Structure 1
Amino acid sequence: MFLAIGVLPPTFAFVAAQNSIVQGVPNAQELFQQGRNLYEAERFNEASLVFQQASVAFKAQGDRLRQAMSLSNVSLAYQQLGQWSKASQAIAQSLNLLQDISTDQDSRSQILAQALDIQGRLQLAQGKAELALNTWQQAAAIYAKIDDKTGLIRSKINSAQAWQTLGNYRQAQKRLTEINQNLQNQPDSTLKATGLRSLGNVLRVVGDLEQSRKILQQSLEVATRMRSPQVINETWLSLGNTATAQQDTSAALNYYQQAAATSTSSTTRIQADLNQLRLLLDDNQLTAAQALVSKIQAQIPNLPASRKAVYACINFAQSLMKLRAKGVKHEVKEIAQLLAIAVQQARDLQDQRAEVYALGNLGGLYEQTQQFDSAQDLTQQALVISQAINVPDITYRWQWQLGRLLKAKGDIKGAIAAYSESVKILQSLRNDLVAINPEVQFSFRDEVEPIYRQLVNLLLRSEGNSQLSQDNLVQARAVIESLQIAELDNFFRVACLEGRPIQVDSVIDRQDRTAAVIYPIILADKLEVILKLPQQPLRHYKTSITASEVEKILDQLRQELIKPYTLQQTQALSKQVYNWLLQPAEKYLAKSQIKTLVFVLDGSLRNIPMAALYDGQHYLIEKYAIALTPGLQLLAPKSLSQQQIKVLTAGITEARQGFSALSNVALELNEIKSEVPTTVLLNQKFTSKTLQTEINSVLFPVVHLATHGQFSSKANETFILTWDGRIDVNQLDTLLRIRDTERPNAIELLVLSACQTAAGDKRAALGLAGIAVRAGARSTLASLWNLDDASTAELMSQFYRELISKQLTKAEALRQAQLALLKNPKYQHPIFWAPYVLLGNWL
Structure 2
Amino acid sequence: MPIASALTINKNHMSCALLCALLLYLPLSISQDRLSDRQGEFETGSFAAIESSPHSKAARLNNQGLQAQKKQQLDIAIGHFLEAAEIAAGADSMEASRYRLNAVRAMLEAGRSKQGLAQLAKTSELLNQQSEAATELRLAIADLYRGLVNDLAEPARLRLKALEQLTLAEQNLAGRDPAMLSWIYGYKGALYEDESRHEESLQLTRLAIAEAEQSPNMSPLYRWEWQLARNLANLGETEKAVAAYARAANHLNQQRRVLESKPDSFKQIISPFYYQYADLLLQQSEPADSAERQARLKQVQQLMESVKAAEVIDYFQDQCVVQNSTSLNDVESGSAILYPILLNDRLELIATVKGKLTQVSVPVSRLEILAAVRDFRLNIQVDTATRDYLHLAQKLYTWLIAPIEEILMAQQVKTLVVIPDGPMRTIPFSALHDGDQYLIERYALATAPGLNLVASSLESAQQPVVFAGGLSEAVQGFSPLPSVSEELSNIEQLMSSRVLKDQQFTKDALTEELIVGDYSIVHLATHGQFRGSYADSFLLTYDGRLQIDELGNALVSRQAGHRTLDLLVLSACESAAGDDRAALGLAGVAIKSGASSAVASLWEVDDEATRQLISNFYTNLAAAERTSKAGSLQQAQKKLIAQDEFSHPSNWAPFLIIGEWQ
Aligned to 1:533: 353
| 1: CA distance, partners of 2:345 / 2:118 | 36
Give the direction of change, closer, same or farther, for the CA distance of 1:722–1:2 in structure 2 (3 Å limit). Answer: farther
Pair 1:461-2:280 in alignment: no
TM-score (norm 1): 0.69
| 2: CA distance, partners of 1:357 / 1:723 | 56
The DSSP-based 3-state class of the residue aligned with 1:460 is helix
CA contact (8 A) 2:259 2:265 kept: no
Pair 1:763-2:585 in alignment: no
Aligned to 1:483: 307
Report the alpha carbon displacement of residue 660 of structure 1 after superposing the two structures with TM: 4.2
CA contact (8 A) 2:326 2:453 kept: yes
Give the direction of change, closer, same or farther, for the CA distance of 1:261–1:564 in structure 2 (3 Å limit). Answer: same
Pair 1:751-2:569 in alignment: yes
Report the alpha carbon displacement of residue 344 of structure 1 after superposing the two structures with TM: 4.1
Aligned to 1:276: 103
Aligned to 1:247: 72
Aligned to 2:24: none
Give the direction of change, closer, same or farther, for the CA distance of 1:6–1:348 in structure 2 (3 Å limit). Answer: closer
Give the direction of change, closer, same or farther, for the CA distance of 1:288–1:580 in structure 2 (3 Å limit). Answer: same
Aligned to 1:389: 215
Pair 1:792-2:615 in alignment: no
| 2: CA distance, partners of 1:321 / 1:834 | 46
Aligned to 2:549: 730
Aligned to 1:576: 395
The DSSP-based 3-state class of the residue aligned with 2:657 is strand
CA contact (8 A) 1:223 1:231 kept: no
| 2: CA distance, partners of 1:786 / 1:197 | 46
Q: How does 1:616-695 map to 2 (within 5 A)?
A: 616-635=435-454, 637-638=456-457, 641=460, 643-657=462-476, 659-695=478-514
Report the alpha carbon displacement of residue 588 of structure 1 after superposing the two structures with TM: 1.4
CA contact (8 A) 1:342 1:355 kept: no
| 2: CA distance, partners of 1:557 / 1:332 | 42
CA contact (8 A) 1:452 1:479 kept: yes
Q: How does 1:553-564 map to 2 (within 5 A)?
A: 553-564=372-383
Report the alpha carbon displacement of residue 500 of structure 1 after superposing the two structures with TM: 5.4
Report the alpha carbon displacement of residue 227 of structure 1 after superposing the two structures with TM: 4.2
The DSSP-based 3-state class of the residue aligned with 1:343 is helix
Report the alpha carbon displacement of residue 703 of structure 1 after superposing the two structures with TM: 0.6
The DSSP-based 3-state class of the residue aligned with 1:679 is strand
Give the direction of change, closer, same or farther, for the CA distance of 1:331–1:738 in structure 2 (3 Å limit). Answer: closer
- What code does the residue aligned with 2:170 have? V
Aligned to 1:523: 343
CA contact (8 A) 1:542 1:580 kept: no
- What code does the residue aligned with 1:761 have? D
| 2: CA distance, partners of 1:498 / 1:760 | 25
Report the alpha carbon displacement of residue 314 of structure 1 after superposing the two structures with TM: 1.8
Report the alpha carbon displacement of residue 398 of structure 1 after superposing the two structures with TM: 1.0
Report the alpha carbon displacement of residue 415 of structure 1 after superposing the two structures with TM: 0.9
| 2: CA distance, partners of 1:624 / 1:259 | 61
Give the direction of change, closer, same or farther, for the CA distance of 1:641–1:409 in structure 2 (3 Å limit). Answer: same
Report the alpha carbon displacement of residue 431 of structure 1 after superposing the two structures with TM: 1.9
The DSSP-based 3-state class of the residue aligned with 2:107 is helix
- What code does the residue aligned with 1:444 have? F
| 2: CA distance, partners of 1:824 / 1:431 | 51
| 1: CA distance, partners of 2:75 / 2:529 | 26
Aligned to 1:181: none
Give the direction of change, closer, same or farther, for the CA distance of 1:240–1:602 in structure 2 (3 Å limit). Answer: same
Aligned to 1:543: 362
| 2: CA distance, partners of 1:597 / 1:449 | 25
| 2: CA distance, partners of 1:257 / 1:555 | 41
| 1: CA distance, partners of 2:196 / 2:490 | 66
- What code does the residue aligned with 2:131 have? A
- What code does the residue aligned with 2:599 have? L
Larger deviation, residues 255-264 vs 360-369: 255-264
| 2: CA distance, partners of 1:479 / 1:489 | 16
Aligned to 1:781: 599
The DSSP-based 3-state class of the residue aligned with 2:390 is helix
Q: How does 1:408-427 map to 2 (within 5 A)?
A: 408-427=234-253
Report the alpha carbon displacement of residue 717 of structure 1 after superposing the two structures with TM: 2.1
Aligned to 1:405: 231
| 1: CA distance, partners of 2:523 / 2:139 | 52
Give the direction of change, closer, same or farther, for the CA distance of 1:392–1:433 in structure 2 (3 Å limit). Answer: farther
Match of 2:60 among 216, 225, 235: 235
Aligned to 1:171: none
| 1: CA distance, partners of 2:549 / 2:477 | 22
- 1:709-756 per-residue CA deviation (whole Å, 9 max, x = no partner) reads 22233222233333444443433342111344996x420001112221
Aligned to 2:145: 320
Give the direction of change, closer, same or farther, for the CA distance of 1:300–1:729 in structure 2 (3 Å limit). Answer: farther
Give the direction of change, closer, same or farther, for the CA distance of 1:731–1:268 in structure 2 (3 Å limit). Answer: farther
Give the direction of change, closer, same or farther, for the CA distance of 1:532–1:690 in structure 2 (3 Å limit). Answer: same
The DSSP-based 3-state class of the residue aligned with 1:644 is coil
The DSSP-based 3-state class of the residue aligned with 2:407 is helix
Match of 1:772 among 587, 590, 594: 590
Task: Indicate the RMSD between aligned Cα atoms, in angstroms.
Answer: 3.0
CA contact (8 A) 1:427 1:482 kept: no
The DSSP-based 3-state class of the residue aligned with 2:580 is coil
Q: How does 1:135-534 map to 2 (within 5 A)?
A: 194-196=42-44, 227-264=52-89, 265-301=92-128, 305-307=131-133, 309-329=134-154, 330-345=157-172, 347-348=173-174, 352-389=178-215, 391=217, 393-436=219-262, 443-462=265-284, 469-499=293-323, 501-504=325-328, 506-508=329-331, 512-534=332-354
| 2: CA distance, partners of 1:379 / 1:658 | 59
CA contact (8 A) 2:467 2:521 kept: yes
TM-score (norm 2): 0.87
Match of 1:836 among 652, 655, 658: 655
CA contact (8 A) 1:257 1:276 kept: yes
- What code does the residue aligned with 2:314 have? N
User: Higher RCO, 1 or 2 (CA under 8 Å, sep at least 6)?
Assistant: 2
The DSSP-based 3-state class of the residue aligned with 2:522 is strand
- What code does the residue aligned with 2:120 have? V
Report the alpha carbon displacement of residue 598 of structure 1 after superposing the two structures with TM: 0.5
**5+ residue gaps, structure 2:** 1-27
Report the alpha carbon displacement of residue 590 of structure 1 after superposing the two structures with TM: 1.2
Match of 1:708 among 518, 521, 527: 527
Give the direction of change, closer, same or farther, for the CA distance of 1:656–1:359 in structure 2 (3 Å limit). Answer: farther
- What code does the residue aligned with 1:671 have? N
Report the alpha carbon displacement of residue 794 of structure 1 after superposing the two structures with TM: 1.6
- 1:245-296 per-residue CA deviation (whole Å, 9 max, x = no partner) reads 3334334333334333444443343233323323333444333333333323
CA contact (8 A) 1:372 1:405 kept: yes
Report the alpha carbon displacement of residue 564 of structure 1 after superposing the two structures with TM: 3.9
Report the alpha carbon displacement of residue 340 of structure 1 after superposing the two structures with TM: 2.1
The DSSP-based 3-state class of the residue aligned with 1:647 is strand
Report the alpha carbon displacement of residue 659 of structure 1 after superposing the two structures with TM: 4.1
Larger deviation, residues 606-615 vs 701-710: 701-710
Aligned to 1:552: 371
- What code does the residue aligned with 1:269 have? A
Give the direction of change, closer, same or farther, for the CA distance of 1:286–1:353 in structure 2 (3 Å limit). Answer: same
Instruction: Choose between structure 1 and 2: higher helix proportion.
Output: 1
CA contact (8 A) 1:503 1:634 kept: no
- 1:317-339 per-residue CA deviation (whole Å, 9 max, x = no partner) reads 12211222345212533321201
| 2: CA distance, partners of 1:228 / 1:686 | 54
Report the alpha carbon displacement of residue 613 of structure 1 after superposing the two structures with TM: 0.8
| 2: CA distance, partners of 1:724 / 1:234 | 42
**5+ residue gaps, structure 1:** 11-153, 159-193, 199-218
CA contact (8 A) 2:533 2:581 kept: no
| 2: CA distance, partners of 1:447 / 1:577 | 30
CA contact (8 A) 1:433 1:490 kept: no
